Structure 1
Amino acid sequence: MPSDKQSPLLLDAVKASASKFKEQKDALEARAKELDALKAQVDAEQAQLDKRAAKIEADLNAFSRDKEDVQAERTAIDRDVAGVRAEREKVSAEEKRLQDWARALNDREKAMKDAEDRIRRLEQEFTGQIRESEGKLQALIEREELVAQRERSLAQMIDRFSTMEQGIVQRERTLAKREEELIRLQNDRLSALEAREKELLKITEDMHARQRDSIQQYESFMNLQGTVRDELIHLAAEREKLATKEKSLLEAEKYLAAALEASGIEFSVETSTPPVVEMKPAVPAAPPPSVPPPKPPEPADEEEFAPVVDSKQKVSKADALDRMTRALETAKKARDQGRNVSDIRKSLKLARGAFEAGDYENAGRLADEILRELDAIIMSK
Structure 2
Amino acid sequence: MASDKPSPYLVDAVKASASRFKETKNALEARQKELDALRAELETQRVEMDRQAERLRTEREDFQKEKEQVNAGRTSIDHDLATVRMDRERFAGEEKRVQDWARTLNEREKSIKENEDRAKRLDLELSSHLKDSESKIQSLVEREELAAQRERALADTIERLVGMERGVADRDKKLAKREEELIKLQNERLHALEGREREMLKISEEMYARQKESAAQHESFVELQEVFRQELTRLASERERLAGKEKSLVEAEKYLAAALEASGIEIETPPEIEVKAPPPPPTSEPRAPKPPMAAPTPPSRPSESFRDEIFEEEHVESRPKVSRADALERMTRALETAKKARDLGRNVSEIRKVLKQARAAFESGDYDTASRLAEEILRELEAIQLAR
Same fold (TM over 0.5): no
Q: With the length of structure 1 as denominator, give the TM-score of the two structures.
A: 0.37
